[in-house]
């Protein structure tokens, strides 16, 4: 039997992950009372062959029984039962925003602010996160990207690292992204904005890429940044970091930053040690403003 315990912060995508696992052939049981987990495993030898992949959803709605989970998991280990823990997480400000958008109440808020409920929830789920085999931070993930990560783990059986890296281009005139871990300023490069015929194009166009990358310092910059990240990222993985946002900025977030973010992404995309995505936050804002 392949058993996955799906848990995590309320609003981080646990229910969505359960639906995705169901589509991947898992027999899913959401919010199973903790005392029944051991019994379910004991009965697993009676399950049909197609039900040998089981996903159990457990969260703070288990109430006081959640405190019994460490003993239950220890019993499973003693019985040589094989299981994995998947923990879905997100930044508090993202979770608060999701709650406000859906107008739902946090299960532990009890009429108080959502922040209070999240604080209590993190404390109650601390044990599960510390013992999780997979931690996925959904703060910046689209639904299809979450599905891709789950397929990587549970369908393709790829070796999974808990770090997800986002390479983000932006424009300084629109503000530095608040979730940035590393911010790189590429305004030292000549700006295509002032070159006839290039202003309306973006760093996704070959003309802009050719213009920016013709300068030796552009390639040297990416070389040095790639070298630094190859040193840093394994350290972040060892320290258990889940999310890394590398922000590359120029004035408007349309030409230089997009070009260099794309170049960095292309150099890193073939690795298998972490998840990787690219976003261009401000690429279309000048067009929307008629500039």
**Hey, what's the torsion of the CAs at 151, 154, 159, 162, to 10 degrees?**
80
* Residue 38: pLDDT over 70: yes
Q: Whole-angstrom Cα distance, residue 288 to residue 282?
A: 10
* Residue 291: pLDDT over 50: no
* Residue 180: pLDDT over 90: yes
pLDDT of res. 55: 92
Beta strands in 70-132 (DSSP E): 83-89
Interval 207-236 mean pLDDT: 95
* Residue 51: pLDDT over 70: no
Cβ-contact 5, 72 below 8 angstroms = no
* Residue 185: pLDDT over 50: yes
* Residue 255: pLDDT over 80: yes
Cβ-contact 57, 14 below 8 angstroms = yes
pLDDT of res. 32: 84
Cα atoms in the 13 Å half-sphere on the side-chain side of 116: 7
Interval 3-17 mean pLDDT: 92
Cβ count near 266 (within 10 Å): 11
Cβ count near 112 (within 10 Å): 12
**Average pLDDT along the chain:** 87
What confidence tier does 287 reach under pLDDT thresholds 50, 70, 90?
Answer: low
pLDDT of res. 282: 94
Cβ count near 71 (within 10 Å): 11
Q: Which residue has the tokens 């930044």?
A: 91
* Nearest C-alpha neighbor of 203 from the set 282, 276, 268, 288: 282
Query: For residue 11, what are its two tokens?
Result: 């609003």
Report phi then psi at 283, rounded to 5: -60, -30
What confidence tier does 212 reach under pLDDT thresholds 50, 70, 90?
Answer: very high
pLDDT of res. 290: 46
Q: Whole-angstrom Cα distance, residue 261 to residue 182?
A: 13
Query: For residue 115, what are its two tokens?
Result: 């922040």
Domains and CATH numbers, the chain: 2-154 (3.40.50.300), 165-288 (no CATH)
Cβ count near 121 (within 10 Å): 21
Q: Using one digit for the tens of pLDDT, what is the confidence trace for 127-152?
A: 888 888 899 999 888 898 899 889 88
Question: pTM for this one?
Answer: 0.66
pLDDT of res. 44: 64
Report phi then psi at 243, rounded to 5: -135, 135
Which range among 53-67, 160-174, 228-242 shows the weakest confidence by mean pLDDT? 53-67
Cβ count near 180 (within 10 Å): 17
Q: Whole-angstrom Cα distance, residue 241 to residue 239?
A: 6
3-state secondary structure of 137: strand
State the DSSP string of 157-212: -----S-EEEEEEEEGGG---TT-SEEEE-TTSPPGGGSTTTTT--TTSHHHHHHH
């Amino acid at each position: 039997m392949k058993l996955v315990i799906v848990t995590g912060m309320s609003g981080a995508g646990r229910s969505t992950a359960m639906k995705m696992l169901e589509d991947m052939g898992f027999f899913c049981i959401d919010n199973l009372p903790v005392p029944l987990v051991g019994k379910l495993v004991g009965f697993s030898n009676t399950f049909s062959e197609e039900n040998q992949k089981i996903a159990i959803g457990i969260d703070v709605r288990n109430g006081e029984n959640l405190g019994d989970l460490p003993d239950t998991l220890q019993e499973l280990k003693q019985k040589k039962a094989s299981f994995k823990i998947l923990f879905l997480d997100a930044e508090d400000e993202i979770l608060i925003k999701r709650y406000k958008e859906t107008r739902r109440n946090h299960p532990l808020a009890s009429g108080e602010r959502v922040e209070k409920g999240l604080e209590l929830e993190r404390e109650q789920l601390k044990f599960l996160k510390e013992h999780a085999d997979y931690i996925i931070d959904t703060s910046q993930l689209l639904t299809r990207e979450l599905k891709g990560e789950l397929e990587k783990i549970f369908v393709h059986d790829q070796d999974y690292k808990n770090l997800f890296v986002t390479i983000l281009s932006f424009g300084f005139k629109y503000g530095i992204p608040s979730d940035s871990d590393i911010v790189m300023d590429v305004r030292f490069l000549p700006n295509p904005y002032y070159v006839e015929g290039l202003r309306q194009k973006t760093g996704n166009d070959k003309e802009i890429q050719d213009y920016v990358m013709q300068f030796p310092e552009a390639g040297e910059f990416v070389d040095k940044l790639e070298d630094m990240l190859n040193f840093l990222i394994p350290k972040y993985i060892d320290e258990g970091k889940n999310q890394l946002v590398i922000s590359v900025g120029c004035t408007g977030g349309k030409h230089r930053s997009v070009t260099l973010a794309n170049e960095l992404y292309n150099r890193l995309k073939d690795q298998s040690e972490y998840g990787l995505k690219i976003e261009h936050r401000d690429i279309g804002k000048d067009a929307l403003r008629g500039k």
